[in-house]
Structure 1
């Protein structure tokens, strides 16, 4: 069995077989406290290989030590010198997050050119072409924007966001929902249009994407694109 661990800003995800476990990202996890969260059958499973993608350095060492202690395996990090099959066109490739590398690897495994929209703590829009990550746009994520709005505007209470087919709202809840959900979808669509000059396929993923994917029906939804990209990288390095 193989484990794919995606350490994101909001959640730590552990994928194995057909399961994906999700735990809130907390900086105060200890090795033993995190182990206690894992189901017994997983802890007792025989694991062949563990890959980790992390954008939270403060937690990475704890998760690595947990894996070594429980499965006696030193995890493989998605970082240099592991082969990814992706050329990074960034001014400083060392700055490119492993999550972006994984999403690019997934896209490149499917087609020659694509746009990947990943809606998490940040919303990233990446252009992948000719097996290269051409560049990325990083925006505040949908939930991040909503949290900032309700925190900074004292009269706006938290609500349940609901998609509306109206252009303007007639209640606070409806108005916020249109601004946050429809607004985020339209921001994405406008930014994608600027870079997608060749009308390439657009992949949509990320935890918050389920809130607006019906507003972007022209995009192809991919569940957990970072983890899917890790699987592509694992095959590239270990399957002949």
Structure 2
């Protein structure tokens, strides 16, 4: 069976195509809230022609942007009405028990990530660090239950705010500088961003591991900016760039 997965975030949408359990193609496109359902279909058709997944028989969707979700629903109604569709929302079988004060507040992307690590690291408590528009930390216990997490501003948001509010500062490329003690303004900003966020990740993860009891905790990094800070983090044990797509595949299989 060919499965189309769509992970819609604030700035970017990740598109993935599975042939059975095998990911045969993945792409990242802008999450434009002005893009219509028909424009989405033209875009998806062009992407899917690049891989050998075959005709789409099922679709799994995770969306945290209400304006885009409306067009996504129209897309599924118009162009994928003969497919098995799984939209991650209240009532969808994800296999993840959510132990939160209000389970409806937990973003679909965070639930999907929890579903993925619950399978990939079954029997182990996990911390998922998703470095995207926001930097999110999600904790899954050894029974695969979502028990809570933390949210911080993302590295790109922080960089944009610094450039906008600092009169003599500007946007810079997000890369590792030559060292933590910078010799120019560009590298000073890069040092603060890269090493600062690595410290943020290690600091929060260390506290979470301590709260979990510190026994064999898997710390899994994902998200489009994970590569920027991953090499400077000491607590991360695995990098799963396609974690959310894997989670969508798992949710789709549970709702087939």
- Tell me which residue corresponds to 1:232: 250
Instruction: Measure the CA separation in 1 of the matches of 2:184 and 2:66.
Output: 42
Q: Which runs of 5 or more structure 2 residues have no equivalent in the other structure?
A: 19-23
- Verify the 8 A CA contact 2:5 2:16 in the aligned structure 1: yes
Deviates more, 1:164-173 or 1:80-89: 164-173
**How does 1:53-72 map onto structure 2 within 5 Å?**
53-72=62-81
In the TM superposition, what whole-angstrom CA distance separates every residue of 1:32-71 from its partner, at most 9, and x where no partner exists?
2222323447379522111110100111121221233223
Which among 162, 171, 178 is matched to residue 158 of structure 1? 171
Q: Compared with structure 1, are the counterparts of its residues 95 and 14 closer, same or farther at alpha carbon in structure 2 (3 Å cutoff)?
A: same
Instruction: Measure the CA separation in 1 of the matches of 2:87 and 2:41.
Output: 19
Which among 64, 69, 85 is matched to residue 95 of structure 2? 85
Across the two proteins, how many residue pairs are aligned to each other? 238
Which among 187, 193, 197 is matched to residue 206 of structure 2? 193
TM-score if structure 2 supplies the norm length? 0.86
Question: 2:64 matched to 1:52?
Answer: no
Instruction: Measure the CA separation in 2 of the matches of 1:236 and 1:42.
Output: 24
Q: Tell me how large the CA RMSD over aligned residues is.
A: 1.9
Q: Compared with structure 1, are the counterparts of its residues 76 and 236 closer, same or farther at alpha carbon in structure 2 (3 Å cutoff)?
A: closer
Instruction: Measure the CA separation in 2 of the matches of 1:85 and 1:150.
Output: 42
Question: 2:232 matched to 1:223?
Answer: no
- Tell me which residue corresponds to 2:111: 101
3-state DSSP class of the match of 1:187?
helix
Question: 2:141 matched to 1:123?
Answer: no
Q: Compared with structure 1, are the counterparts of its residues 165 and 56 closer, same or farther at alpha carbon in structure 2 (3 Å cutoff)?
A: same
Structure 1 runs of 4+ off > 4 angstroms?
Answer: none
Query: Could you tell me how far 1:143 is from its partner in structure 2?
Result: 1.0
Query: Could you tell me how far 1:89 is from its partner in structure 2?
Result: 1.2
- Verify the 8 A CA contact 2:96 2:144 in the aligned structure 1: yes
In the TM superposition, what whole-angstrom CA distance separates every residue of 1:150-188 from its partner, at most 9, and x where no partner exists?
111121122223313633212101110110011001101
Deviates more, 1:33-42 or 1:75-84: 33-42
